[in-house]
Amino acid sequence: MAVGPAFLELVQLHERTWGTEQYLNRPTLAELISAHIVVMWVDMQGTAASETRRASRQIDSNKKFTLECFDSPQALNDVLASMVLLNRPSRHGWRKISRVFIQGKPIEIEGVRLVQKKE
């Protein structure tokens, strides 16, 4: 699988920033390179609104970000749904998606679709 240069740069920055430190479910380098979907999360707890807007436009090399691998779009969808729905607690709490890569190539999220439940 050929991955894009932006993805490789992100993985290198992640590895340099974290070094040998660990975080919950930290993927290995092999998992990052072979994953179908990789999400870059930024911790937003205690972040002001102006900083939130700035963080969404650039990667702050002073702030540690985390990466998470997903095998399928449905697995990521389940996490996102748990973040939105109040009745399902999420371990992702105060985190924000900053970047998403599918097979090593960046994608953009254009919107969220709400579907009315049929009775």
CA distance 83 to 27: 21
The answer to whether 77 and 21 have CB atoms below 8 angstroms apart is no
The answer to whether 18 and 64 have CB atoms below 8 angstroms apart is yes
Domain limits, the chain: 5-107
105 pLDDT tier (thresholds 50, 70, 90): very high
The answer to whether 67 and 14 have CB atoms below 8 angstroms apart is yes
Picking from 18, 13, 2, 26, the residue whose alpha carbon sits closest to that of residue 102 is 2
Tokens 């953009």 belong to residue = 108
pLDDT digits (tens, 9 = 90+) for 83-98: 777 565 566 667 888 8
The answer to whether 38 and 5 have CB atoms below 8 angstroms apart is no
Give the three-class secondary structure for 82: helix
The answer to whether 58 and 98 have CB atoms below 8 angstroms apart is no
pLDDT digits (tens, 9 = 90+) for 1-31: 678 899 999 999 999 999 989 998 899 999 9
The whole-model pTM stands at 0.74
The answer to whether 114 and 107 have CB atoms below 8 angstroms apart is no
